[in-house]
Each structure stands twice: as structure tokens, then as C-alpha cells.
Amino acid sequence: MSEPAVDTKELDRYECRACGYIYEPEKGDDRRNVEPGTLFSKLPINWRCPVCGANKKAFANVGPIGQVSGFTENIGYGFGVNKLTPNQKNVLIFGALALGFLFFISLYGLQ
Ligand SMILES: [Zn+2]
């Protein structure tokens, strides 16, 4: 029997819940000599987050690459703006202008 094909489900990325580092199996972890293609489940038991040193238990499965978590949120945000009434949009635009003006004034005040 040859080795079974790589289960794509196992190419899930894992995010460190302590610092947000994401382990990507396709890339491995060159800082700790983990070769690209190493599944998270195949990492040594003593492997730790290269950023903050958290152990494997601190990692959460965030799904395979391509499912960027922020992406769906951005779509939701876009829909949210589109649902606003014209009046609410005016408030948003005016608010943004006021903020820009305040920012300009604060810069001017620094000089
Ligand atoms: Zn970490």
C-alpha cells in the first residue's frame, strides 16, 4: 500500500489564541526547522508558538487557507452600509468630515 493522499482537511491552519500567530502547514516553521507541508498534528509535542511560546494546546483550528476570517466580516460590513438610509449615510459622511477636520486642526496645533 502506498501512502494515502494528503487529506486536505488536515491542511487547516491553526491560530495561536495567545498572540494571533497562524501556523500554515504549507509553509511550516523555518525558525524551528519544521519543513513546509508538515501538518499541525504532526508537529512535535514540544513545538511551541514561534512568536509567544504558547504550547500546541493554545492553538485553535481556523480552517484552510482561502478562508480569511476577516473577509466575510468585510462583506457583512459592506452590506451594512448599503442598508443605511440616505439620511444615515449623510450622518456618516458628515461625521467623517468632522473627524477629518478635527484631525487637521490637531495637526495644525502641533506645529
Ligand atoms: Zn503565540
| CA–centroid distance, residue 27 to ligand 1 (Å) | 17
Characterise 24 by phi-psi region: left (phi > 0), alpha (psi -120 to 50), beta (else): beta
Bridge partner list, 29: 34
| CA–centroid distance, residue 40 to ligand 1 (Å) | 14
Q: What is the predicted pLDDT for the residue at 52?
A: 97
| CA–centroid distance, residue 44 to ligand 1 (Å) | 16
Q: What is the predicted pLDDT for the residue at 38?
A: 94
| CA–centroid distance, residue 45 to ligand 1 (Å) | 15
Residue 54: CB atoms within 10 A of its CB come to 15
Look up the pTM and report it.
0.52
What single letter denotes the amino acid at residue 105? Answer: I
Burial 74-100, CB ≥16 within 10 A → b, else e:
eeeeeeeeeeeeeeeeeeeeeeeeeee
pLDDT at 18 over 90: yes
Q: Stretch 15-24: mean pLDDT, rounded?
A: 96
| CA–centroid distance, residue 60 to ligand 1 (Å) | 11
| CA–centroid distance, residue 30 to ligand 1 (Å) | 16
pLDDT tens string 42-93: 999 999 999 999 999 999 999 987 655 554 545 445 555 566 677 888 888 8
| CA–centroid distance, residue 50 to ligand 1 (Å) | 7
